[in-house]
Amino acid sequence: DTAVSQTPKYLVTQMGNDKSIKCEQNLGHDTMYWYKQDSKKFLKIMFSYNNKELIINETVPNRFSPKSPDKAHLNLHINSLELGDSAVYFCASSRIQGVGELFFGEGSRLTVL
Amino acid sequence: KQEVTQIPAALSVPEGENLVLNCSFTDSAIYNLQWFRQDPGKGLTSLLLIQSSQREQTSGRLNASLDKSSGRSTLYIAASQPGDSATYLCAVCEGNKLVFGAGTILRVKS
């Protein structure tokens, strides 16, 4: 049973479109995250939610809007996609906010044409 | 601003060798340090987590050390195997987030 699952795994779309990536964790964790891994493989945090409440918003354009309907789900919606949004987006969760071990999903590779 | 550096960027070794991966960070005010493994096209798998009050952690053939005052951590892999080939990422936890290094790409040749 997958602990942190993301869909879709691959997403190819045109500039200007709006798209969403979904994430679910079945670990009973309180905190969930979105990370972005760019072409140079650097992983940077985008958002963190603790019990459905936004904790971290790291200088991300407001075209990116996370939504947490409950503490097991954290979705990422992106409006007006740009070429520079092409990356792999990773969802993660931890039991304790910030200081616990992180469990990652397998990533969603977004390609904007 | 916290910066995490990993050396070397890439490493190729014959099977059976012991090896050391290095990680350094600029701000010693961290909660913990974590080592991850990333296989191509996959997510990250947590290998070891060292709390700021600890000096080392061991799991099987892996041993990670932490010297918070000097801003350094090492990941020691004993008797390397081809299955160890992957990218190894170091991340420090400050506040509510992890700050990652760029990783070391390890190739173990059979």
Interchain pair B31, A99: CB under 8 A: yes
Note the pLDDT of residue A54. 86
Going from the C-alpha of B26 to that of each of B6, B67, B73, B89, the distances in angstroms are: 12, 12, 12, 16
Note the pLDDT of residue B79. 97
Note the pLDDT of residue A92. 93
Note the pLDDT of residue A42. 85
Interchain pair B102, A41: CB under 8 A: yes
More confident residue, B19 or A102: B19
CA trace torsion B24, B102, A23, A11 (10° rounding): 170
Could you tell me the mean pLDDT of each successive run of 10 residues in chain A, 113 residues long?
89 97 95 90 88 82 92 95 95 80 92 96
Closest-approach residue (CA) in chain B for A31: B96
User: Residue B41 pLDDT more than 90?
Assistant: no
B11 touching A, CB under 8 A? Answer: no
Q: Which residues of A touch B93 (CB under 8 A)?
A: 98-99
Q: How far is A17 from chain B (nearest CA, A)?
A: 25
Average pLDDT over chain B, rounded to an integer: 94
Give the Cα separation of B105 and B90 in Å (integer).
Answer: 12
Note the pLDDT of residue B76. 98
